[in-house]
Amino acid sequence: MIKTDVCIIGAGPSGAATSLMLSNLKISHYIIDKEIFPRDKACGDGLILYAYKVMKLLGNNLFEEFLNHPKFLHSKRIKLHINNKQHILFSESEDRDMLISYAKRIDFDHFLVEHLSETYAQKEFGNGVKSLEEKPAGILIKLKDGKEILAKIIVGADGAQSIVSKKLANNKIDTKNMSTFVTAYFNGVKDIPKGNDAEVRIIYKNMPLFFYVFPFANGDSNVTLGGNSNQIKKYNINLIDEIENIISTNENIQHKFTNATRIGKWRGWVIPYRFEKQKMIGNRFLLVGDAAGLANAFYKEGIGTGMMSGVIAARNIERSLKYNDFSESFLKNYEVEIKNEFGKLLKFSFYMLKISRFKRLFSLVVFIFKKRISKKSFRIIKKRSY
């Protein structure tokens, strides 16, 4: 049996950020993932806000390397189309590098994993978790190959289907607070806006569906459609049929795809936005990222919040190790810090999603507050970015 102070389950952006921060704090730990990197993952492939903040915070030139990476593309503008006639433009100032970046998960996740410490991080990749068992001295993690690791505290960074969330926090799948998406890569998409602006459209089909076209440095594009999982089921929406219909018939979109070719199959994934609706802590464990339900309900991004939650988790783990206290009551501070960091943003996004279900009302709200939203957004972005 291997004994360690800390074990992180999941080496995606949330887990990698936790590991990198623990290493900065000189805390030795294990980090486990069932896959071997580089590995692909279905995603919208857009990075904003906290993803930048965390990379700068972690130091070691991580942010500078990200900016100059040949596979990552950056843009200063996001154009959110409310309907055919109305949109909101979010844009960065001239003295700042970008508002959004596009990075395939196979490349971005590998980029982070390559920076994991050789001194403090013991990597166990290609070996999934078989079971978790609470013991007096810690959490016993049994891996698929029979290896056993006993950790004083574990971090659940294993995504929407987190085994840590299910087994230790007893959280249940909640489709009311979850988004379902389909995505595929395309080659030959044309009329990408100047400056590689992000194109996001709300398309109504009894409910708001969010359509994205994000370009990459190699000329490919990520094309994505999704919305609330519960409503998709309620209205019997086939997302693949719907997105294929959009790119072939929508007057604002079809011209982009006249000579485009889909690369591979449509792939699906889910994003839980369960902030304050599920358990995030317990005796000897913390949840981060999608495992903690920290994705943004409205604009559907969870990488940045996940990475920042990893940083906050690492700092609280340092505190637990110092006082040798891994109880739920002691770890309550992590929950408080998460709420202080994300509370206003995630609650606002949740209510924006609720309002967006009513097409006319949402259009009216945007019309009335458009200038105010654009003006205030810069301060919001700068505070939560870099």
pLDDT at 366: 87
Residue partners of 292: CB distance under 8 A and separation at least 6? 156, 165, 274, 278, 280, 309, 338
Tokens of 205: 């089909």
- pLDDT tens-digit profile of 110-128? 999 999 999 999 999 999 9
Specify the long-range contacts of residues 84-89, CB closer than 8 Å, at least 24 apart. Answer: 84/251, 84/252, 86/363, 86/366, 86/367, 88/366, 88/370, 88/373, 88/374, 89/374
Region 160-181 average pLDDT: 94
Opening angle at CA 162, ends 25 and 213, nearest 5: 90
Q: In the prediction, which pLDDT does 324 show?
A: 97
**pLDDT tops 80 at residue 273:** yes
| Phi, psi at 269, each rounded to 5° | -160, 170
Over the stretch 14-63, which tens digit does the pLDDT of each residue have? 999 999 999 999 999 999 999 999 999 999 999 998 999 999 999 989 99
- What is the per-residue pLDDT for 258? 95
| Host H or E run for residue 321 | helix 303-323
Residue 148, pLDDT above cutoff 80: yes
Let me know if domain 2-71+103-175+273-375 sits in CATH 3.40.640.10. no
pLDDT at residue 85 in the model: 85
Confidence band (pLDDT; 50, 70, 90) for 133? very high
pLDDT at position 335 is: 96
Q: What does the pLDDT read at residue 166? A: 96
Give the pLDDT confidence of 193-235 residue by residue, as tens digits: 888 999 999 999 999 999 999 999 999 999 999 999 999 999 9
Q: In which band, very low, low, confident or very high, does the pLDDT at 132 lie, cut at 50, 70 and 90?
A: very high
User: With 80 as the cut, is the pLDDT of residue 376 above it?
Assistant: no
Structure tokens, 339: 């709420």
**CA atoms within 13 A of residue 181's CA, in its CB half-sphere:** 24
What is the model's pLDDT at position 348?
87
Phi, psi of 173 (to 5 degrees): -65, 130
Residue 381 has pLDDT above 80, yes or no: no
Number of H helices, E strands in the chain: 10, 18
